[in-house]
Amino acid sequence: MKHRDGGRWTASDVGDQDGRIAVITGATGGLGLETARVLAAHGATVVLLGRDPAKLAAAKAELQAGRPGAAVEIGELDLASLESVRKAAADLTNRFGKLDLLINNAGLMMSPYGLTKDGYELQFGTNHLGHFALTGLLMKSLLATPGSRVVTVSSNAHRAGRMNFADLNSARHYQKSAAYGRSKLANLMFTYELQRRLAAAKSQTIALAAHPGTARTDLTRHLSTLSKNALSPRFAAVNFWLVQDAAMGALPILRAATDQAAVGGTYYGPDGFMQLTGYPVVVTSSSRSHNKQAQRRLWVESEQLTGITYPV
């Protein structure tokens, strides 16, 4: 495939998305909003999911102001509540006859210790369990739509992640960066196991993953003041290799969602130094993320914790 920007994959390569329904979690800002912006500009109907009705309304207004006539819908979703996940999935199923894209983007990063409404460690419960449940509840709509995709957003932090099945809730010991790394490792293990199940069922639906490198978004709000300053656009002349804006960070997600040459189980990330910044290419993930036995165990544990089973 020949790309328009000197061989680099850009938003111009997204192609015609007319008629496609794209659901995006965490879509009121950052990567989610940038992903929605590009998909809407290429004709997709984008469904913005988020916790705050006011922020959802503002995001919808922003997208439609930038592109009058853009097809933008909104829906409330709190991934830290399985009841909210069930309500959101039921609402989406009732409102739309098909689902072409589910982009599992929302997340918390290095937050203080907390629990979801169902009693699970907040980062693991939100970043992984909430998306596991949402995807499972929407799977019938995805399976009924030829060429549909599930794109789950991971992170470079997955490389430091360890899947401690004896303490998934970090009840014995909580370290916020370790918990974040575990949740992002879970995102990848979920993607690979889901793709294997879809392939075994000979489904036309595929599962992919992406990561944004280091992008300037609200996700960094729990970082230290020193870390925030290091990523600040004020120091762009020296930190350009370390951090990029949300529009660039969204490109791997967009490629996973729309590249016609993409195959299930592919992981996209930036092409720059240590995958921190750059244009989207196929990247590799840690050996731990490819442990099939651990993937299957995580799947079983996730079914038990959420009460959600999949039709594949």
Question: pLDDT tens, 66-89?
Answer: 999 999 999 999 999 999 999 999
Q: Is the pLDDT of residue 224 over 80?
A: no
Q: Is residue 201 part of a domain?
A: yes
For residue 217, what are its two tokens? 């978004």
With residue 102 as reference, give the H or E element that holds it.
strand 101-104
Question: pLDDT tens, 144-173?
Answer: 999 999 999 999 999 999 999 999 999 999
Q: Is residue 1 part of a domain?
A: no
pLDDT at 222: 43
What average pLDDT score do residues 19-42 get?
97
CA 265 vs. chain centroid, Å, equals: 14
Q: Is the dihedral of CA 209, 57, 120, 113 positive or negative?
A: positive
Q: Is residue 66 part of a domain?
A: yes
CATH of the domain at 40: 3.40.50.720
Q: Is residue 148 part of a domain?
A: yes
Query: Which range, of 43-52, 59-68, 240-249, averages the lowest pLDDT?
Result: 240-249
Query: Percentage of the chain surpassing pLDDT 90?
Result: 87
Q: Is residue 239 part of a domain?
A: yes
Tell me how far CA of residue 164 lies from CA of 42, 129, 167, 194, 295, in angstroms: 42, 15, 6, 20, 12
Q: Is the pLDDT of residue 220 over 60?
A: no
Q: Is the pLDDT of residue 5 over 60?
A: no
- Does residue 198 contact residue 312 with C-beta atoms inside 8 Å? yes
What average pLDDT score do residues 33-53 get?
98
With residue 304 as reference, give the H or E element that holds it.
helix 292-306
What average pLDDT score do residues 85-110 get?
96
Residue in 113, 174, 180, 267 annotated catalytic: 180
Give the range of the structural domain holding residue 141, as residue numbers without chain letter.
18-305
pLDDT at 3: 55
Q: What is the DSSP letter of 311?
A: -
CA 193 vs. chain centroid, Å, equals: 16
Q: Is residue 4 part of a domain?
A: no
Q: Is residue 243 part of a domain?
A: yes
pLDDT at 218: 63
285 burial (CB, 10 Å; 0-12 / 13-18 / 19+) is: buried
Bridging pattern class, strands 45-50 and 21-25: parallel
What average pLDDT score do residues 231-251 get?
67
Number of domain units in the chain: 1
Q: Dmax over Cα atoms in the chain, in whole Å?
A: 52
Q: Is the dihedral of CA 242, 247, 253, 258 positive or negative?
A: negative
Residue 24's beta-bridge partner residues?
Answer: 48, 103
Q: Is the pLDDT of residue 231 over 50?
A: no
What's the mean per-residue pLDDT of the chain? 92
Q: Is the pLDDT of residue 239 over 80?
A: no
Q: Is residue 33 part of a domain?
A: yes
Active site annotation includes 180? yes
- Does residue 22 contact residue 98 with C-beta atoms inside 8 Å? no
E strand spans, 126-222 = 149-153, 206-210
What is the Cα Rg of the chain in Å?
A: 18
